[in-house]
Chains A and B, each alone.
Chain A
Amino acid sequence: MSAYQPLKRPLVTLPFLVLTVIALIGTYYLAQRFIHGMGIVTNLNGGYAWGVWVVYDVVVGTALACGGYALAITVYVMNKGKYHPLMRTALLASLLGYGLGGVGAMIDMGRYWQFYNIFTPWHMNFNSVMLEVGLCVATYILVLCIEFAPTLLERFGAKGLVKALNKVLFIFIALGVLLPTMHQSSLGSMLIAMGWKVHPLWQSLHLQPLLAILTALTMGFAVVVFEASFSSVGFRRPSETPLLAGLGKGIVGLIAAYLLFRFGEILINGKFGLIFAGDLGSLMFLLETALFVFPLLVLSSAKYRGQGSLLLWASVSMLFAGSLYRFNAFLITYDPGAGYSYFPSTPEIMVTAGMVALEIMIFLIVVKKFPVLHDAKHA
């Protein structure tokens, strides 16, 4: 008998119905986008070519989906088997988050009917960071499907297939660690070519890939802590705080390294004064830094780390910190010059909200129908 069980709760609940309505509104505007073009739904313009669809769905969304990546490093690379019970939940959230990223990229693609050009060798431009991101994310979605497949196959009783898959799964687990390392750092490298339009406090040029991967990892660990704490509260399941507090220690190292490089670059390049310039950039920087420092303080104390609610707040703060770092760099303090401004339109936001709602709905359906959550009795 598997240590994982479907959650025996009713499928259609009030929150589920609310999510359905949001998803339907999003679908309506999405249809408009494909019938009339992006202009009717979005506020994109000549200076702001990327809005919330790219920056949330792809850049932030895939980083929020790094739970599977972070946990795979812990369990399979650092060999901390005790965290294994969290694995399936993290993988499912990653699969859905990356799926959203993939769908979001397609929706935003102006010439989506030619998307396959990115897979044809004679079109590939190997100097392009975007090519690396596109190919790597697409491959990782496939890898996540394979990693998650045992959960689905188990449900349908395909024992032979599960056994065969488990024999070769280590290759895909290894790929599942390598690929996010590649494309999450590349998402940072994309900012290099955006040059002067990226605010100096966020334009670290050569350091972009390093800062991107460090924040992706913190977000990955944060999302694992968040999901586990939240599902123990939301579904009234036994608390996993002791397990999560252990992860917290690892996060401290990551945030410390991130802050060291981030401030090191700013100091060395004489940009320190910009932090206190009192403009939008400085304000956002201070807010973002505070969101990184709060979890650092909570998690470095053994006393605070052991408290479920503080741990939850620390993880939320970290998720906002990493998200804001990306939003700031790509959108909020991004400035293509005089004459251009951007704020997402309501339909634009609704499309993204609708997709997130759909993502959560699928998550709820899968954990209630398939053996994803770890049965506490077996722990």
Chain B
Amino acid sequence: MKRRDFLKASLGGGAALLGTGTAEARGNLEPAEDAIGMLYDSTLCIGCKACVSKCKEVNGMPPTSLGEETAWDAARDLSAETLNVIKVYSEGAGKLKDAVKDGYTFEKRSCMHCVDPGCVSVCPVTAMRRDPKTGIVTHHPDACIGCRTCMVGCPYNVPQFDYDNPFGEIHKCQMCNQAGVERIDQGEMTGCAEVCPTGATLFGSRKALMEEAKRRMTLKPGEIYNYPRGDVRNPESHHEKAVPEYQQHIWGEKEAGGTNVLHISSIPFDKLGMPPLEERSYASISETVQHTLYSYMALPAIALAGLTYVVRRNTDDEGGDDS
């Protein structure tokens, strides 16, 4: 993917040209100490969409139908009425589960709950917030002005505005912990992880999930592993399955500062539609530039003082012209 190749270069070159030192640069934010998250293992997903259905039930959203017969939820992508969706990857004959060639697999799309969220950084009115304790990226419609900068500032196109409602709002996954739902605060897990029959969506702390993901990376393909379901620290049950050939890549460990929702797969992530991200978050670059120019409003204040002096002198010269 060409965009991936050039972004890294742009980082260094741009900074050098403008002379913005890295000394003042704001680095990526760090994960919250007790961040919670999810681990999605595409090799375990069977595409049953129980998670899509449960998500809509928890969030009070209607199913999406494809014509008259509504046998299953047919949402194709995230929308104001779909906060979680399962997509299909298919190559060639599309017959072998988890094979790159002639294979197929599934991929979950929902908010990744970035460690350094673009939406939080760009929102002018603090309607997007990162919960300091859980790391959940929350949305607050009472503050939102609907400018949709969060949508363009999200590397995953997650926040969705309800365009069909004259009084619409932004919708996104809030890990089932928004006011009125509060599953996490009540010690429950997210709806999608709770109903997943294969443990493809696993709930837990970011740390525990990262350990689990790293463990799976070390397993030998073909050997039997006892996969947990539900909550990684307190699984409600396990099932045994042969280990697939994992890509040695945990999506969300480092991408743009990392995410609390981690993905692992046997298919390279660019083929699964994940964006071309470097380790440095765009939020951190944007804020570095902005705070270099507007630190304590010093530059604008000096500029205004200078301009006022010059303009005053020059308007006095003209005299008669303005009277």
Collect the chain A residues with CB atoms within 8 Å of residue B124's CB: 118, 124-125, 128, 130-131, 134
Contact A110/B147 with A49-B152, A193-B153 known, Cβ cut-off 8 Å: yes
Collect the chain B residues with CB atoms within 8 Å of residue A368's CB: none
Collect the chain B residues with CB atoms within 8 Å of residue A343's CB: none
Of chain B, the residue at the smallest CB distance from A123 is B125
Contact A194 B152 (CB under 8 A): yes
Contact A77 B126 (CB under 8 A): no
Q: B residues 13-62 with Cβ under 8 Å of A?
A: 13-18, 20
Contact flags A140-184 to B (C-beta < 8 A → 1, else 0): 000000000010000000000001001001110111011001100
Contact A79 B273 (CB under 8 A): no
Q: Does B71 contact A (CB under 8 A)?
A: no
Q: Does A127 contact B (CB under 8 A)?
A: yes
Contact A193 B77 (CB under 8 A): no
Contact B10 A174 (CB under 8 A): no
Contact B303 A181 (CB under 8 A): yes
Q: Does B222 contact A (CB under 8 A)?
A: no
Q: Does B224 contact A (CB under 8 A)?
A: no
Contact B155 A195 (CB under 8 A): yes
Contact A337 B122 (CB under 8 A): no
Contact A132/B323 with A170-B311, A200-B10 known, Cβ cut-off 8 Å: no
Contact A130 B6 (CB under 8 A): no
Contact A171 B308 (CB under 8 A): yes
Q: Does B314 contact A (CB under 8 A)?
A: yes
Cα A208 to Cα B127 in complex, Å, equals: 25
Cα A77 to Cα B310 in complex, Å, equals: 6
Which residue of B146, B157, B162, B286 contacts A47 across the interface (Cβ within 8 Å)? B157
Contact A36/B275 with A46-B78, A178-B300 known, Cβ cut-off 8 Å: no
Contact A270 B9 (CB under 8 A): yes
Contact B157 A112 (CB under 8 A): no
Contact A112 B2 (CB under 8 A): no
Q: Does A369 contact B (CB under 8 A)?
A: no
Stretch at the interface among A6-14, A260-268, A287-295, A309-317: A260-268
Cα A79 to Cα B160 in complex, Å, equals: 50
Q: Does A18 contact B (CB under 8 A)?
A: no
Q: B residues 130-148 with Cβ under 8 Å of A?
A: 141-148
Contact flags A191-227 to B (C-beta < 8 A → 1, else 0): 0111111011001111111100000000000000000
Contact A274/B6 with A79-B317, A81-B317, A196-B155 known, Cβ cut-off 8 Å: yes
Contact A269/B6 with A129-B286, A195-B118 known, Cβ cut-off 8 Å: yes
**For chain A, what secondary structure do more than half of its interface residues adopt (helix, strand, loop), or is it mixed?**
helix
Quote the shortest CB–CB distance from B189 to chain A (angstroms).
27
Which residue of A37, A111, A128, A196 contacts B144 across the interface (Cβ within 8 Å)? A111
Interface hub of A105, A269, A338, A340 (most chain B Cβ within 10 A): A269
Contact A114 B275 (CB under 8 A): no
Classify chain A's interface size: 35 or more
**Chain B interface residue count, Cβ-Cβ cutoff 8 angstroms:** 83
Collect the chain B residues with CB atoms within 8 Å of residue A270's CB: 6, 9
Contact A110/B125 with A46-B79, A46-B151, A200-B6 known, Cβ cut-off 8 Å: no
Q: Does A95 contact B (CB under 8 A)?
A: no
Cα A163 to Cα B307 in complex, Å, equals: 22
Contact B14 A44 (CB under 8 A): no
Q: Does B4 contact A (CB under 8 A)?
A: yes
Q: Does B218 contact A (CB under 8 A)?
A: no
Q: Does A76 contact B (CB under 8 A)?
A: yes
Of chain B, the residue at the smallest CB distance from A185 is B293
Collect the chain A residues with CB atoms within 8 Å of residue B166's CB: 34-37
Collect the chain B residues with CB atoms within 8 Å of residue A39's CB: 163-164
Quote the shortest CB–CB distance from A2 to chain B (angstroms).
9
Contact B163 A38 (CB under 8 A): yes
Contact A50 B286 (CB under 8 A): no
Which residue of B142, B286, B322 contacts A189 across the interface (Cβ within 8 Å)? B286
Q: Does A102 contact B (CB under 8 A)?
A: no
Cα A171 to Cα B123 in complex, Å, equals: 31
Q: Does A306 contact B (CB under 8 A)?
A: no
Which residue of A38, A115, A178, A189 contacts B303 across the interface (Cβ within 8 Å)? A178
Contact A125 B126 (CB under 8 A): yes
Contact flags A50-71 to B (C-beta < 8 A → 1, else 0): 1000000000000000000000
Contact A207 B7 (CB under 8 A): no
What are 12 A-to-B residue pairs whose CB atoms are below 8 Å?
A: A37-B165, A44-B163, A76-B310, A111-B141, A111-B146, A123-B127, A125-B123, A190-B149, A193-B118, A196-B155, A210-B18, A268-B9
17 additional contacts, CB 8 Å, given A81-B317, A127-B291, A134-B147? A3-B321, A35-B166, A77-B307, A110-B168, A117-B143, A174-B310, A178-B300, A186-B290, A190-B149, A193-B282, A194-B282, A195-B282, A200-B2, A205-B15, A268-B17, A269-B13, A337-B157
The 4 A-B residue pairs with the shortest CB-CB distance in the complex, in nearest-first order? A110-B146, A111-B146, A39-B163, A49-B151
Write the residues of chain A forming the contact surface with B, with a CB cutoff of 8 angstroms.
3, 34-40, 42, 44-47, 49-50, 75-77, 79, 81, 84, 105, 108-115, 117-118, 123-125, 127-132, 134, 150, 163, 166, 169-171, 173-175, 177-178, 181-182, 185-186, 189-190, 192-197, 199-200, 203-210, 261, 264-265, 268-271, 274, 335-340
